[in-house]
Structure 1
Amino acid sequence: MHAITNFDSLELLNSFVGLLAAFILGSIIGLERQFRQRTAGLRTNVLVCVGAAIFVDMAMRTGGADGAIRVAAYVVSGVGFLGAGVIMREDGGVRGINTAATLWGSAAIGTCAGADLIAEAILATAFVLAANTLLRPLVNAINRIPIDAQASELTHVIHIIAASNHRQIVMADLERLLKSSNYPLAELDIGPFGDDEIEIEATLMATSIDERDMDHLIKQLNRNAKIRQAFWSPRTNE
């Protein structure tokens, strides 16, 4: 039997060390995520890290360094599908990108551990953990800085709440108002808002619009009896 002939106690011990390192390092990353109650917490990060280590360790034992390189490349691309599963669109924004990136980092750590690069795996863990902890105060400080709509290049989005049966009338009124104001549309999204209402999101093509002009447009829209509520919001261009 190949299972018996392939058994090597020294290789098994080597695999155990690599998987144990992946388990411990993945737990360190996962604990930080679990503490912050992220979508991918302790178990997910450990499984990603250990899973990557298993694949690379198996490739190392069966195909040598060349096999490990090929499997590592598949791990890099394959974990992207897992990361996509934790990214969600919510309230006009995107959530879960940092969680997906952390999973990618866990896979990289597991790959190092499976390739017997334990010191490199520990170093990678320190950097991933630092990105999620040490950089957090800086990110929060930047996010608290108000957006200067006069100085920043922004995309302006008009939000309109109206009854579903007034959809065509409201859209026609909006298009007429924007055309008369010389503000062409870049994008128009319509979605449900409650049981019998819709929300229209009109993204304007122009980026250098004065706040006072936007406020004037909103006042005109709110005078429309068919519109329950209208407001605008800035969105930074990336």
Structure 2
Amino acid sequence: MLSVTEFAVRLTLAFVLGAAIGIERQWRQKSAGLRTNTLVSIGAAAFILLSVSITGHSGDPSRVAAQIVSGIGFLGAGVIMKDGLNVQGLNTAATLWCAAAVGALVGIGLFPQAILTTVTVIITHLLLRTVGTKLSVLTFIPKNTSLPADYKIIINCKNNVENHIRVLLIQQLGNNEKIVLRSLASSDNENQTSTLIVAEITAAGIQDYIMEQIVSRLTIEQEVTKVSWEFTGQQAEI
């Protein structure tokens, strides 16, 4: 039987580690941020502590841990959304899964392992984000650098900065003679508080580096939640 003091210590540690994961998610403006990850960690720890408190050393907390994994699966499914051909939220769902694992480790008393898991999750987000962005730009389809290439830039921003972002994007495109803006369209997202801006561009040959420069400039703007670009193809050689 756990004492109230030990119960409180473990629950507090679960709170701190869950919040550490959640702070990074909140900073990235993800749907499951500070409070969600903290609550998941606390909840997982509380369920493990409940099992230990009731059964003592004779119980089997692993049975409760198995049910926690199943429950987090339902929670994770709620943050996964399909946007056209793209699936969003998989990273957020995986983070919630890790937060639950951290809480379970704390609940069962494996403090060093819980701290190590938390640090690993945060490092994964901070370090592998840049690597993943670079890899997503690569394509295994051979490109002919001499043919005109088509690109698309997608910007998700708050409604109040839409005009500013459109003007800034046009300025960025107009400063380079190798690219031409073919179309620029805006549409409201489902929540009606943000706008999706899509620019279709034709470039004189492969200009991936220019796309990276434009996207990097737009990313630092306030109220811009997401900026990405994609290579959509090359015009056929006549």
1:62 aligns with 2:57: no
Aligned to 2:229: none
Matches within 5 A, 1:71-220: 71-148=64-141
CA deviation after TM superposition for structure 1 residue 63, in Å: 1.8
Residues in 2 aligned to 1:149 and 1:93: alpha-carbon distance in whole angstroms: 23
Alignment-derived partner of residue 211 in structure 2? none
* Alignment match, 1:50: 42
Aligned residues: CA RMSD: 2.0
Q: Distance in 2 between matches of 1:13 and 1:67?
A: 22
Using the TM superposition, give the Cα deviation of residue 64 of structure 1 relative to its aligned residue in structure 2, in angstroms.
Answer: 3.2
Matches of 1:149 and 1:71 in 2, distance apart?
A: 51
Q: Does structure 1 residue 33 correspond to structure 2 residue 25?
A: yes
Q: Which residue of 2 aligns with 1:11?
A: 3
Residue 14 of structure 2 aligns to a residue in which SS?
Answer: helix
Separation in 1, partners of 2:89, 2:136 = 17
Structure 2 match to 1:157: none
Using the alignment, how far apart are the partners of 2:105 and 2:81 within structure 1? 29
Structure 1 segments unaligned to the other structure (5+ residues)? 1-7, 151-193, 195-232
Q: Secondary structure at the match of 2:76?
A: helix
Tell me the amino acid that sits aligned with residue 18 of structure 1: R
The corresponding residue for 2:157 is: none
Residues 104 and 81 of structure 1, relative CA distance in 2, 3 Å threshold:
same
Q: How far did 1:119 drift?
A: 1.0
Take 1:22 and 1:112, find their aligned partners in 2: how far apart are those partners? Answer: 9
Aligned residue pairs, count: 145
Runs of 4+ off more than 4 Å: none
Q: Aligned partners of 1:55 and 1:16: how far apart in 2?
A: 13
- Taking the aligned partners of 2:63 and 2:41, their CA distance within structure 1 comes to 17
Provide TM-score, normalisation by structure 1. 0.57
Q: Which amino acid in 2 is paired with 1:84?
A: A
Whole-Å separation in 2 of the counterparts to 1:44 and 1:64: 29
Range that drifts further, 82-91 or 140-149: 140-149
SS of residue matched to 1:135: helix
Deviation string 1:77-106 (CA, Å, 9 cap, x unpaired) is 110000000000002110000000000000
Which residue identity is paired with 1:54?
A
% identity of equivalent residues:
45
Residue by residue, what CA displacement relative to the aligned partner does 1:33-53 show, whole Å, maximum 9, x if unpaired? Answer: 000000100000000000000
Question: For residues 140-190 of structure 1, what are the alpha-carbon distances to aligned partners after superposition, in whole Å with 9 as ceiling and x for unaligned?
Answer: 11112234168xxxxxxxxxxxxxxxxxxxxxxxxxxxxxxxxxxxxxxxx
CA drift of 1:14 comes to 0.6
Q: Which residue of 1 aligns with 2:153?
A: none
Q: Give the distance between the partners of 2:8 and 2:118, measured in 1 at CA.
A: 19
Please state if 1:22 is matched with 2:43. no
Mapped to 2, the partners of 1:13 and 1:34 lie a distance apart of 30
Question: Whose radius of gyration is greater, 1 or 2?
Answer: 1
